[in-house]
Structure 1
């Protein structure tokens, strides 16, 4: 019995290792096809209208999300895990159409499966079915291993990978927002509405200074001491302008981030790490499933 079990697990490891090595050989062609500037622009042309609003929203959320994550991890290290379940369901952001496209490409074009709910046989499941040891055992129902088990394991790692990659892009947008507040208004912690308020106040100040009875210079000094209040309409217009500018800039950064990371070799490194995690996760989870089902079939 132990020898038989070792043979089965050895066959499983062989299939997973062969599958992962095949994927490693495809890394360069995949990332060059998916993350080049031309490929990115081709996709963005189709989804840009949908993503113009989501990119700035995700950028604003990324820093609070990472702050919460750090707090939860710190509390977990000292033994207080009550917030862990809450954080696990807390989204890192709203997936944009571009991000969903990239996730789908990793699933179907690179890893060869259709997502966790797909009924299409994955490349790995076909490999297991064709294996001289595992294939006959599957046909005889001596082991229970379905395409769904593989899809769930693969999908979990892909989602974590994409969430981390998306957070990097969103952080760049956050830094742009913070940098805008610091550069134009001398403050680092301004939100879009606060920047709109500051801009409207500047408009009110400049307009009042221009109309000052003793000239603009004297008016500027006077209204520095007694700042005029902007109208609600001006605050609204200024906020819309700031929001639109940030929307355009953060989207431009998002468009450029993947080609830049491709040039720096970061995508290759991260995809390689993804495959390491997939190999470990597949063997751990599928081994448990096979051992459980093999014991049950023998007991019956």
Structure 2
């Protein structure tokens, strides 16, 4: 930023930079102060119901597609992290840059708009951060009797950062739904079948085995009762068709559940502080990027946790 001079006074770059940093700091401090109210309004009951009821409709189709696409997007993100642009594989880095995060569901769009309007702009139509910046700079310029400067370049920097940060936050919704499914499958397998089923694949294998046992016992030559005893000792191997069909049914049920799981798990995440930590991390990274004029650094780890759980599920089920 250039030093501004007038016939009377000179404003140093250090003064301007200090004013900008102070305005940014005050803005993000106020944003953090709004986080508890924001969470209470939208992630606790009854707000969680209002937030997640938008999943009814096309989101029931978008959510399953996002879950299937999530491993590909996670691999693209990992590629960008492990392969800096200066390496000889810059073409691979560029290819990973073009991989989309998936479909934006109505719930994701709604929450992004809530963060933008309520958390970042406090209900104002115009970007609130600019007002903080203008106030901080005007105080400096008033002290030196200088004319104000144009803030257009600052706006051009901030808006893409906010858009990219909100895009990354939407990815956490898909990851959270995936993690929720893994936890739900584990709990269901433990209590209903006394089996360790760390995901949809594991649950599908267990259900396919149970179906194969039931069908084999029904057709047992000495009767279903004796067949049940026999196949309890010598369980039959389910056919590939049976396993595949059961897995498809389980995945479809999990996908439908994922679209609406926020009604149950948003209040849980709010109660244990996950939403608070995630929003504070979003604001911390956004403040850092705006202050240092860097690219978006907000890369939540939720999607990688979800992929680790998926991999463990496949290993446990014998698919890897």
TM-score > 0.5 by shorter chain: yes
User: How many pairs does the alignment contain?
Assistant: 274
**d(CA) in 1 for partners of 2:43, 2:231:** 55
Secondary structure of 2:222's aligned partner:
coil
Determine if contact 1:112/1:122 at 8 Å carries over to the other structure: yes
Select the residue among 259, 278, 282 that pairs with 2:267: 259
Match of 1:296 in 2: none
**d(CA) in 1 for partners of 2:188, 2:55:** 26
Q: What TM-score, normalized by structure 1, do the two folds share?
A: 0.69
How far residue 94 of structure 1 moved from its aligned partner, in angstroms, is 3.1
Select the residue among 19, 22, 39 that pairs with 2:27: 19
Match of 2:307 in 1: none
The correspondence of residues 1-300 of structure 1 with structure 2, limited to 5 A, is 3-62=11-70, 65-66=73-74, 69-70=77-78, 73-74=81-82, 82=90, 83-112=92-121, 121-130=126-135, 131-132=137-138, 133=140, 136-138=147-149, 144-145=152-153, 147-164=155-172, 166-176=174-184, 191=201, 195=204, 199=207, 203=211, 205-217=213-225, 219=227, 221=230, 238=246, 241-285=249-293
Distance 1:239 1:157, change over 3 A: closer
Secondary structure of 2:104's aligned partner:
coil
Determine if contact 1:34/1:40 at 8 Å carries over to the other structure: yes
More divergent stretch after superposition (83-92 vs 257-266): 83-92
**d(CA) in 1 for partners of 2:173, 2:213:** 43
**d(CA) in 1 for partners of 2:87, 2:44:** 44
Determine if contact 2:44/2:266 at 8 Å carries over to the other structure: yes
**d(CA) in 2 for partners of 1:26, 1:152:** 22
Q: Structure 1 regions of 5+ residues with no counterpart? A: 115-119, 287-300
Q: Structure 2 regions of 5+ residues with no counterpart? A: 4-10, 295-320
Q: What TM-score, normalized by structure 2, do the two folds share?
A: 0.65
**d(CA) in 1 for partners of 2:100, 2:159:** 21
Determine if contact 2:66/2:103 at 8 Å carries over to the other structure: yes
Distance 1:180 1:73, change over 3 A: farther
More helix by share: 1
Secondary structure of 2:62's aligned partner:
helix
